Amino acid sequence: MSSTAVGQDATSSPRAHTPTPVQERRKLWAEGSVSIKIPEIAKWAFFRNEEVDVDFLQFGRTIKGGTINMYVHDARNEMIGKTITAKAELWQKTLIDGRSFFYIDLHPSQDAKPTHRLIVMDGATDIQGAFMTPSPMKGYVLFVDPDAKLAAEVPKTLTPAAPTKPNWTGDGQLDRLLAAGWKIKIATDDRVFLTKPGKKDLIHHRPRKR
């Protein structure tokens, strides 16, 4: 779904379906490319632009309260089930009835290299650069460096096995935060994003190597 389709909405068959008119679309992010796998359950859909049906592949990422749809433009059947690199655009769509949603346009590019990693998560965060979903959905979209890792992917050596262990990461301040119950959410070369129940998310800057 492109920005030229103002007033129109995507739909799947049957093509006689009349979508709710769109009041506004706002582009929130379009600063790079991501690597993403198109799932086997992706389906063909379309929108009408100046009396022409524009086809694309559609799939989604489910979060609490709804789904963030992904639209792959200039898609081919052989892309289904494969990982592609695509230029990404995050949009917010507001309908005339007041409902508002996020969606992501993906434009495949054989020449592009991933400059960011796309993360879609439940819950709230104070991480700088995160886009909080409109209500009633409760989640956020984040574009990070390709080598950034989610908490579940951080090597186990970074997770404290017991409060008495004196050195887990070699970073004294980070170790103290882990000992105090903070959990690593995302880790990059220079920063660590931490979370703790009942607290605002925290950003720890790794010490510079001399």
Q: Is residue 143 part of a domain?
A: no
Q: Is residue 49 part of a domain?
A: yes
**Which range of residues forms the domain containing residue 174?**
149-205
Q: Is residue 164 part of a domain?
A: yes
The domain boundary, picked from 73, 90, 115, lies at: 115
Q: Is residue 141 part of a domain?
A: no
Separation between Cα atoms, residue 22 and residue 33, nearest integer Å: 27
Question: With 50 as the cut, is the pLDDT of residue 184 above it?
Answer: yes
Say if residue 29 is in the same domain as residue 78: yes
pTM confidence score: 0.63
Q: Is residue 165 part of a domain?
A: yes
Question: With 70 as the cut, is the pLDDT of residue 1 above it?
Answer: no
Say if residue 103 is in the same domain as residue 174: no
Q: Is residue 130 part of a domain?
A: no
Per-residue pLDDT tens for 145-159? 888 765 534 333 333
Nearest alpha carbon to residue 70 among 43, 52, 95, 49:
43
The domain boundary, picked from 115, 133, 164, lies at: 115
Per-residue pLDDT tens for 14-23? 444 567 888 9
Domain count within the chain: 2
pLDDT at 14: 44
Q: Is residue 70 part of a domain?
A: yes
Say if residue 14 is in the same domain as residue 99: yes
53: β partners: 48
Count of CB atoms situated within 10 Å of the CB of 133: 23
